[in-house]
Structure 1
Amino acid sequence: MSEKFEKLKAQHEKYKDKTMEELIKERSEKLAAGQKELREKYKHLLIEGEEEVVEGKVNLKQAERLMGKIYYNAKHLGNMDEFDIDESNPEERFRGHQMRVIAAHLLEAVKLYEYIDTPVKYEGILYRRSDGRYGFKNSDIYLNIGDIIEYWDEGYDRYELGEVEHKNNDYYMVDNYREELVGLRVRIRACENHIL
């Protein structure tokens, strides 16, 4: 018999007499032990005086602090697109390609981090101006193609990201297609980054 079959057989023998509740409890205990091990391994990243992660959750301040700590390295790695590899080695070529993919994702994460770390420049309700653009009353600010905005999503009860585009002589949002932008509550950050 194969080694794989023997392992499966041994697992079956180990668990065959346990109830579902016992299996769930055992798995939960194993996960908790793993979380404890991770907390111990990365305790140097915890903020002094703040409580540790509870049941896998991190408070927002702690998450922002951790993000701040990895921001510089992520930005540095995100800008890497070439690695010194042995081109004759298929494994190194594979790993080099995957590192470039990871670097691209890191760069996107860095852009998003920079975006949310930028203050809100303007917040208001959109209306359609006489020139056909969407803007805010009592303000010179108006939307252009490619602008990143945050719109209030009633369903989620929070702001969501959207990008402004133009089609059929009107504007719409790429990520939440709306025929009508009039009356939409939006925010604009003082940021030139287009992250979508």
Structure 2
Amino acid sequence: MNRDFTAAYWQQRYQQNQTGWDVGGITQPLRDYFDQLDNKAARILIPGSGNAYEAEYLFYNGFNNVYVADVAEAPLTNFASRVPAFPKSHLLHQNFFELQEQYDLIIEQTFFCALDPQLRPQYAEKSAQLLKPGGKLMGLLFDTTFSNPGPPFGGDRNEYRKYFEPYFNFLHFEKAYNSIPPREGRELFILLQVKEESKTILK
């Protein structure tokens, strides 16, 4: 990984409030998806969670198996202060690529775009490894390019497809219709289900 994107790099960004990706709450596409989920016992992972507004929303709506992971300690500390009832054992101060547990659902929200783009194939593979059979990867990806050097790093749906196709069936992979105004027309809403055959290969 590029040395600039280490845990120390992200920790410093939070400590200095250089968090332009943080919109201060859950975004509408994720809220709408969560509102139609009925399995409150599902094991849900939010990697690169940052301040984890998604986890807060899920937790307060009765989902008790939500886990958040981040390489920076600061956002996890922020979250623990903001949501004191959230189980401390579900706050994972870990690198996504070193996680080992299994989940029913992985939520993608500004983590993929923060990674060194060279890690995108590994992200897709690791997501498939972490999902139970039939598990899903859901969230938002930027469908745009950025004029400034990343992070965030942009891309397009054709690029992303080649990363996910070996491991996932595409249930939904279209431009989000309900993005927040600053991201309108620049996000893909994705819902991918891990292929049964990929679970055998990835064991």
TM-score range (shorter-chain normalised) is under 0.3
Greater relative contact order (Cα 8 A, min sep 6): structure 1 or 2?
Answer: 2
TM-score, normalisation: structure 2: 0.23
For the pair shown, the structure with the greater C-alpha radius of gyration is: 1
Task: Flag the structure with higher helix content.
Answer: 1
